[in-house]
Amino acid sequence: MQLRHPRVALPALLGLGVLGGFGVATTSAAWTDDAHFTAQGSAGAVDLRGSSNGVDFTAADSTGTAVKLDAVAGLTPDNPTVTRTVHLWNASTVPLRLSWATAPKTLLDGCVEVEYQPFPAAPLAAGPDQPTGAAVTTATVTFRVADNASAATCSGKALGALEIVVQGSPA
């Protein structure tokens, strides 16, 4: 084929784009197939579970099934810090990298500051059989009365429900 005119050359160039587009689509599809294979290998394969006591683990996949932590109560300048811990178990068949999916830094109009313990850089090892050893870890959240929390603004304030979410993704 000989291209003799720019208007004729344009479709040809676009044709190259189509090839490129198919290239992307094909690549994605291949990757997706792989992902779907793994995911189906588990609704199971990626399975992070939580617990308030390190013994009774549940999927805790939603607000309705969330791990219930003890209330954070009575924070004052004289009792300024309370820590809460979520125990995590990688019940997957693959190591998981952990991250905080929700992480508000302050609560109650700045009266309370929230600090999230960083997760280790190393992924949490897989342990699909039982929550022991390197397959378990903890996620710690510290609630602290802000230094500038005044009695007039902050005393007695409360927040009914706070949701904390940890996300696990294959390393």
Partner 1 sequence: MTTMTRPRALAAVLAVAALLVGGARLASDATDPTTAAWTDDVHATTSVGLGTWQPSIGKCQPVDANLRPVDAPCSIVSVKGFVTGEGRPVGERRAQLRIKIDATQKNGVYYLLTVNLANSADAPANWVFQGGWFGGAGANLVAMQAPPSCTALPTATMLLPDWAPGEKDGVFLEVYEPRWSQQSDPSFCVRS
**80-119 residues near partner 1, rule: CB under 8 A:** 84, 86, 88, 92, 96, 101, 107-108, 111-112
Output the CA angle 8-9-11, nearest 5 degrees.
75
Taking the complex as a whole, the smallest distance from the CB of residue 115 to partner 1 amounts, in Å, to 13
Q: What is the strand order of the sheet 112-116 is part of?
A: 48-51, 81-90, 136-145, 112-116, 106-107
Q: What is the largest CA-CA distance in the chain?
A: 85
Give the binding-site size for partner 1 (rule: CB under 8 A): 82
Q: Which stretch binds partner 1 (CB under 8 A): 3-11, 121-129, 130-138?
A: 3-11
Q: By CB under 8 A, is residue 28 in contact with partner 1?
A: yes
Q: Is 147 in the site for partner 1 (CB under 8 A)?
A: no
Q: Which of 103, 122, 158, 171 binds partner 1 (CB under 8 A)?
A: 158
The token pair that represents 41 in the structure block? 């290998």
Closest CA to 101 of 43, 163, 55, 52: 163
30, 40 contact by CB (below 8 A): no
Give least dist CB 122 to partner 1, A.
18
Parallel, antiparallel, or unpaired: how do β-strands 112-116 and 48-51 relate?
A: unpaired
122 or 157, CB closer to partner 1?
Answer: 157
* Smallest separation, CB 107 to partner 1 (Å): 6
Q: Counting contacts by CB under 8 A, is residue 2 touching partner 1?
A: yes
Cβ closest to partner 1, residue 54 vs residue 170: 170
